[in-house]
Amino acid sequence: MLILLLLIPIIGCILLITIPENTIENKIRMKRITLISMIINFLISIYIWLEFDTSTSQYQFVYEFINLSYCHLNIGIDGISLYFVLLTTFISPIAILSNYNNINNNLKYFLISFLLLETLQIGVFIVLDLILFYIFFESVLPILFLIIIIYGSGKPRIRSAYLLFLYTLTGSLFMLLAILQIYSYVGSTDFQIISLSEINLDSQKLLWLGFFIAFAVKTPLWPFTGWLYRAHADSPLAGSILLAATILKFATYGYLRVLINFLPDATNYFSPLIQTIAIITLVYASLATILQPDTKTLIAYSSIAHMSIILLGLFSNTIQGIEGSIILAIAHGFVSPALFICVGGVIYDRTGSRTISYIRGLVTYMPVFTMLFFIFTISNTGIPLTLNFLGEQLSLFGIWERSPIIAALGATGIVLSAIYSLYLYNRMSYGIYSPHLKPLKDISRREFNLLITLLFPTILLGIFPNVILDGLHFSVSSLLYNI
């Protein structure tokens, strides 16, 4: 079943290539083919979830392709990777629908790019080989680079695309060196063989630093945050949604799958360093968020702050901390795209501006939108009965067991997120209606359906978190106690 997740978007790409982009009817047909391919993938991932055995930590639905001497494809899924795959297949059609009416030039290449991105993202989460992990991890970069340059907005988009490409590519070179060094130690890059091998502490430290640099850039952690907000601000809405929801989770998955799993001694040694960097990143990003005049840049900086709390949970060395970080990563994958749709889609499409001071009093003409905007704003702050609340609390409880001081500093992120989130909402939604704006239409049916689709899992999973936790327990427990 897992191989179908990789192949169906490729089949969709092949079908798109055969359709000429010369009439409106053909463009509509191409959009439908793309959506159908993505929805089929989502249904397959739901089937995998239903058939998944939560009583074991072993890899399931394993598939191995060894028919070619130069290609060894080994894929499988466990309780950790399962939910990242579900998030990817859930968000991909939402990303396409967010730009459904905005992209008309070079539409075929736009749709093909996002189908390829879906395959590559799924590949990151299901491959069971370090070389394949590196290949899929890096292969999204050229596509994102072209998406920002071709379909992005504003003259700075070229600089933003180069920063995205060069930052992440340079960081990942250290990961490649670490992978080659592991191969020289172990004689294999297979996950299960590496997990059974013993590497001495001094070697683990060097390997750990190589992987950590790559993941720190991708997270991103201070001082590597300069590329993210620029990439968000200048990319099309669909690109921002994927970047926030799933591509930032590559690093989260890498910390779990590589650093904690394969290099546990070095992870324990460097944990105080990680916690310090996470706190610095959290405070820096939160304070920078408050000062932002651009709506998309503000949401991008808030993503950095939330990723810092995720990192605290991951390196808490507790089950509840790691489970909380995974839940917060999934919650961020729902709420952050919704906020990007609000500010970079609904508001920007109507006003042509992302400058916060230019927009005021939206509740006057957009009451339905203002209500949904408020719900996602308070969800972003971690209000109870949302998945964000559960993820933040478990992450902070987990780190509290190891270091109450670090947990207390991490909890400041909750206060700061309330400040910048509510300040953004209040400035744009209330007050005297801006004299610079004409009367605006409330959200369309398409926009309403997109936001409601993201709202349901945020609330329902916040009320019934065991839907996720039941599948995580065995994999997270074995991650810590088998080591």
Is 74 a domain residue?
yes
The pLDDT of residue 483 is above 70 = no
Report yes or no on 299 lying in a domain. Answer: yes
**Kind of pairing between the strands at 71-77 and 60-68:** antiparallel
Which pLDDT value is given to residue 67?
62
What confidence score (pLDDT) does residue 90 get?
A: 93
pLDDT at 405: 86
Whether residue 316 is contained in a domain is answered as: yes
Q: What is the pLDDT of residues 18-33, one digit of tens each?
A: 888 778 888 888 888 8
Q: Is residue 180 part of a domain?
A: yes
Q: What is the pLDDT of residue 403?
A: 82
Span 53-68, average pLDDT: 77
Range of the domain at 309: 1-478
Mean pLDDT for 118-134 is 89
Q: How many domains does the chain have?
A: 1
Residue 262 located in a structural domain: yes
| Any domain includes 88 | yes
- The per-residue pLDDT for 261 is 85
Compute the mean pLDDT over every residue in the chain, rounded to the nearest whole number.
Answer: 85
Residue 410 lies in a domain: yes
Is 483 a member of any domain?
no
pLDDT tens figures, 127-140: 888 888 898 888 88
The reported pTM is 0.89
Tens digit of each residue's pLDDT (9 = 90 or more) over 383-437: 888 888 888 888 888 888 888 888 888 888 888 888 888 888 888 888 777 777 7
